[in-house]
Structure 1
Amino acid sequence: MSKLPANGAHPPLGTLIHDDTIQLVSVLGNGGYGVVFLGVDISSKRRRKYAVKCMSKAKGRRTAHVRELNFHLQVTGHPGVIECYGAVEDDNFTYFIMEYATSSDLFHQILHECRYLAQDDTIKYVFLQLIEGVEHCHKMGVFHRDLKPENVMCFDDGHRVAITDFGLATSDPSSCEFRTGSVYHMSPECQAGHFREDAYSPVANDVWSLGIILVNMVTGRNPWKSATKEDPVYQNYIQAPLTFFSSVLPVSNPLNNLLVRVLNPDWKARMSLHDFKHAIQDISTFYSVNVHFEGNLASRSSFTHITLILMSLAVHTMDSDTVGRIPHLNSILLLILIPTKHLFRPVPRPSASLSCARSGKECRDRRRRMPGWHTLPGLPTGIIDTFMPHLLLM
């Protein structure tokens, strides 16, 4: 029987569950859903490891837990989905016992390990696994609605991936539940944006999320913060979708053409998952010839930090008509210069220099935090004060 929790928020480390056979030994992650523990089977010599998702039963949440469990069990059995072995509960908590991912999640692999940067074959190999996992879920009548790098678990140093977390999933092919998921990866129709209707397609919503994940893997960036009218970068995309990506990101023409179809604001005209899969197979490179790799990001070589600083200074002296004649200038500056607004969230500076392997060679020192004003060495504070307000108003 499980020990009582120390403070009611989550059970203490050392708690025993599943007839005292699995011990919770460390925390793997936490969020609004609860806590994910590393669980170890102490009843066998193998001491098998599990990921144990622990959720409070307070406020009548048990119904939601049962719903999530049923969805997860329904799609378990495919290599692209984390295995769910079942659930146990006590008076305070519900515990999902799941397959343990040995290489963290896709977010970690993208941001901390630079796993996919400049690796066309690896990106294709891994992303096709992800598509096949989603394809399996859809065939089983389960639509995820919260696809993002944090919900894609990794094995073999990020070379094998599997989907997890079906807490927001639905079996309804037409949903009236809006704003479900994470804002960076949520489709405009799910946010009740463009082409607003009484319902939207969770299938098309998942396709959109996959498109954003592909941008994450290729560039280390999010293309915008939210697919809404309040986001100026997204609005620039809406105004000129055919040229947006190739203007602000180092993507190849085939990838640019694919993203335009996958990230079509009109979900009824959006590319199908089947066509998405075959289009990925046909792409030989995801990058343009003018790509520049810096830290854990890919940029257009013309948009290095120094170039952008000079561009910003120039923009500060331009009249509005001149600025308007430069394609996607607002998006370029907002996307790259304003720290963390349209990129992955920042991470702390490591205590020592870190490096990662790329194409069989050691890449240079990679700082594990997001580029922004605070990472540009020698940049006077006065410059920030001078033109940050201007950029924010663009």
Structure 2
Amino acid sequence: MTRVYAVKKIKKRRSRFGPQQNGHEKELLCHRIASGHRNVLTLHHVIDSGDVLYLVLDYLPEGDLQTSLTEHGSMYRSHPQHIKRIFLQILDAVQHCHDKRVYHRDLKPENVLLKDFGATAVLADFGLSSRKASSVDFEIGSDYYMSPECYGELHCSKPYASVPNDVWSLGVMLFYMVIGSPPWTAARTGCKSFLSFLCDPDFFLRRYPVSAEMNRMLMHVFAIDPTRRMSIDQLRGYVQGISLFTVTESQVRRLRTVMARPPRATV
């Protein structure tokens, strides 16, 4: 039986001494170490042709989670069990990577592939991954998904831990799956939405149709202090236990009416 593979082409950097593989060894090492899990894209072979590296990977023709959310977002939002199934698989993949001391640093729907008619999620693209538990590489990743400490702004450019940085990205991914958009364009004070989040403890309840359960989880996964951010195991427990990610428009209006009332005076 013929098996089909995908091939990723990486052009080596050049110097006056010729093509240089430096910069790609990290991706290859991290991907090799992370391979072997059912929810991680398998790297089968690397072919070095001199100027170019060819990475031989599993071929998954169903596309990525971002495309699926764009084209079938209402299907996800109307079936919370499907969101749970896909997101829990992503958590399993990331936890496997962390157990192997591989930190992805670019977790987003574009880097999650789908197979089995959309029922199975597979983590891909280790181009920005690292084996360092602590990092001083700032603004590494994609704006929507980077944690505030990765921007360096709120934490005075101090070294930041790689695990909670990935957890923050996972929180944004789940929010995207549930709501259909990320909560902000960037987790920095120059972004009005993120600044509103910093100033308003009821930010999500005021702006989005999230349930009280979902709101409680978001406040833990988006803890500004990385040491207080929930772990992947805690995030998994929250997601498994949530009965509703969102509420109806009438429930939203009723909640916002209650929130807008001034507190009762006490005697």
Provide TM-score, normalisation by structure 2: 0.89
CA distance in 2, matches of 1:169, 1:97: 18
CA distance in 1, matches of 2:253, 2:39: 35
Q: 1:111 to 1:263 in 2, by over 3 A?
A: same
Q: 1:61 to 1:203 in 2, by over 3 A?
A: farther
Residue 239 of structure 1 and its aligned partner are, at CA, apart by 0.4
Q: 1:144 to 1:61 in 2, by over 3 A?
A: farther
CA distance in 2, matches of 1:214, 1:291: 23
CA RMSD of aligned residues (A): 2.0
Aligned residues: 252
SS of the residue 1:250 aligns to: coil
1:121 partner amino acid = Q
Instruction: Provide Cα deviations, 1:325-361, integer angstroms capped at 9, x if missing partner.
Output: 989xxxxxxxxxxxxxxxxxxxxxxxxxxxxxxxxxx
CA distance in 2, matches of 1:191, 1:281: 31
CA distance in 2, matches of 1:257, 1:289: 18
Task: Check whether the contact 1:245–1:251 (CA below 8 A) recurs between aligned residues.
Answer: yes
Question: Percent of aligned pairs with the same residue?
Answer: 35
CA distance in 2, matches of 1:166, 1:291: 43
SS of the residue 2:164 aligns to: helix
What are the equivalent positions in structure 2 for 1:152-301 lying under 5 Å apart? Answer: 152-241=112-201, 243-290=202-249
Instruction: Provide Cα deviations, 1:29-70, integer angstroms capped at 9, x if missing partner.
Output: xxxxxxxxxxxxxxxxx4422221111113355122222111
Q: 1:269 to 1:287 in 2, by over 3 A?
A: same
CA distance in 2, matches of 1:326, 1:91: 66
Structure 2, unaligned stretches of length 5 or more? 262-267
Q: Look up the match of 1:113.
A: 72
Match among 79, 82, 98 for residue 38 of structure 2: 79
CA distance in 2, matches of 1:134, 1:301: 37
Q: Look up the match of 2:5.
A: 50
Residue 168 of structure 1 and its aligned partner are, at CA, apart by 0.9
CA distance in 2, matches of 1:253, 1:301: 14
Residue 158 of structure 1 and its aligned partner are, at CA, apart by 2.2
Residue 113 of structure 1 and its aligned partner are, at CA, apart by 2.3
Instruction: Provide Cα deviations, 1:94-148, integer angstroms capped at 9, x if missing partner.
Output: 1111111231001011011224121111001111000010000000000000000
1:253 partner amino acid = A
Residue 195 of structure 1 and its aligned partner are, at CA, apart by 2.6
Q: Which has the higher relative contact order, 1 or 2, with Cα contacts under 8 A spaced 6 or more apart?
A: 2
SS of the residue 1:64 aligns to: coil
SS of the residue 1:233 aligns to: helix
Report the more deviating stretch, 262-271 or 57-66.
57-66
Q: Look up the match of 1:145.
A: 105
CA distance in 2, matches of 1:157, 1:220: 21
What are the equivalent positions in structure 2 for 1:60-75 lying under 5 Å apart? Answer: 62-75=21-34
Task: Check whether the contact 2:136–2:157 (CA below 8 A) recurs between aligned residues.
Answer: no
Instruction: Provide Cα deviations, 1:222-261, integer angstroms capped at 9, x if missing partner.
Output: 11000001001100000013x1112111111101110110
SS of the residue 2:8 aligns to: strand
SS of the residue 1:157 aligns to: coil
Residue 288 of structure 1 and its aligned partner are, at CA, apart by 1.1
Q: 1:156 to 1:240 in 2, by over 3 A?
A: same
2:233 partner amino acid = H
CA distance in 1, matches of 2:7, 2:253: 44
Residue 291 of structure 1 and its aligned partner are, at CA, apart by 7.9
CA distance in 2, matches of 1:69, 1:94: 10
More helix per residue: 2
CA distance in 1, matches of 2:79, 2:253: 18
Task: Check whether the contact 2:188–2:194 (CA below 8 A) recurs between aligned residues.
Answer: yes
Q: 1:84 to 1:268 in 2, by over 3 A?
A: same
Task: Check whether the contact 1:194–1:266 (CA below 8 A) recurs between aligned residues.
Answer: no
Residue 264 of structure 1 and its aligned partner are, at CA, apart by 1.1
Provide TM-score, normalisation by structure 1: 0.61
2:217 partner amino acid = L
